[in-house]
Structure 1
Amino acid sequence: MPRVVPPVADERTALTAYLAHQRRALRVTAYGLTEEQARMTASASDLSIGGLIKHAARCEGFWTDLILQQQRGTQRKAGEFRLAPDETLAEALAAYAEAAERTDAVITGIPDLGQAVPVPQGAPWIPAEVREWSIRWVLLHLIEETARHGGHADVIRESIDGATFDPLLAAAEAWPDPWVQPWAPASPSVG
């Protein structure tokens, strides 16, 4: 896959292509990590790459539920940004892929991006006067949310082993690109 989103012909394609691109960027931060590394926090916060992917899956499911008017609540769950001892990175990635597939299927079935999405009331991050958003707004929000957490994951990954986006992507997708040296795990030191 290319490093950037290809040209787009219309609004729907642009929104879904940019969301897919941000999802891919978040997923690639986990490429080559061990379970221990997926749980590592690189700052004073609870954020870990595995936890960010877990959160992104839950977040995307939350917004898809709102579109379908299958509201399940607005409360964040304790430990949402960390993998629990019984959770694995592979499970978090699979849940994220499943949430993305579900969102994509729902969006494909909606002809009008202006369709209203009822907003849950009472959450402190939602302006009190807002009663509904559009599908368009939800997609833009998912792009923003995914990109924000992708940035967190980039910093965490670089703190873990120095890996950055382009070399990780080149390794994950086996790029034949001569301008990017694909990431490889550090060789264990002998001594």
Structure 2
Amino acid sequence: MTRMTTAERTMPPTVADERTMLESWLEFHRETLAAKCAGLDEKQLREASAPPSILSLMGLVRHMADVERHWFRNILAGEAGAAQPLFWTDEDQDRDLRLTPDDSWEEAQEIWQREMGRAREAAAGRGLDDIGAGEHHSGKTFSLRWIYVHMIEEYARHNGHADLIRERIDGSTGM
């Protein structure tokens, strides 16, 4: 079994103000998912965790691109064009995870990187107590602080899935 290292990631500070801490932990988890995908070929990135599950590393990256878009661009910034998800639909809410032969790692990674960049832009200059400008289907409002905490939780949960998928693919563990 190969042990993965933390060299690919920036460790969050142990002492910092709240915003620095939240942003650092979010970046840490973004980098963790990227590290879990590193060094694998397209076939491996498409490999499902354990049938009948369709969960794969590429599917997780596509899912997180949609999540980044939804919370930062749609809910926080209120961008009208960002209200439409990238992959999933009302008819197929697992479309981000359900890969077709036309889906590629290159496209998934490019979209995910773009959405993370736009998420950082949407949060820049806003205070943690600022309320999102977009509408959520629940009718609730969300602060940037809540969005950061939710995104850390979302990545942490899915990075646990990524740990198991990566170990199944090539035996790599850790991080």
Q: Shift of the alpha carbon at 1:119?
A: 4.6
Larger Rg: 1
- CA 134–150 in structure 1, closer or farther in 2 if over 3 Å, else same: same
State the distance in 2 between where 1:8 and 1:54 align: 32
Q: TM-score, normalised by structure 1?
A: 0.75
Whether the 8 Å CA contact 2:48–2:56 is kept in 1: the answer is yes
**Of residues 110, 129, 154 in structure 2, which corresponds to 1:94?**
110
The counterpart of 2:13, out of the listed 1, 6, 9, is 6
Structure 1 residue matching 2:19: 3-state secondary structure? helix
- Secondary structure (helix, strand or coil) at the match of 2:78 reads coil
- Over the matched positions of the two proteins, sequence identity in percent amounts to 35
Q: For residue 86 of structure 1, report the CA deviation from its aligned partner.
A: 1.6
Deviates more, 1:84-93 or 1:74-83: 74-83
Equivalent residues of 1:119, 1:133 under 8 A apart = no
Mark the runs of 5 or more structure 1 residues left unpaired by the alignment: 123-129, 167-191
> In the alignment, does 2:26 pair up with 1:19?
yes
Q: Deviations along 1:93-140, whole A, 9 cap, x unmatched?
A: 221111111111111121x21111255225xxxxxxx62111100111
Matches within 5 A, 1:1-191: 4-43=11-50, 44-64=52-72, 65-70=74-79, 72=83, 76-77=88-89, 78=92, 79-110=95-126, 112-117=127-132, 118-122=134-138, 131-166=140-175
C-alpha RMSD of the superposition: 2.1
Kindly indicate whether the alpha-carbon contact (under 8 Å) linking 2:42 and 2:105 is maintained by their aligned counterparts in 1: yes
Q: Deviations over 1:157-182 (max 9, x none)?
A: 1011101234xxxxxxxxxxxxxxxx
Offset of residue 8 of structure 1: 4.3
TM-score (ref. length: structure 2): 0.81
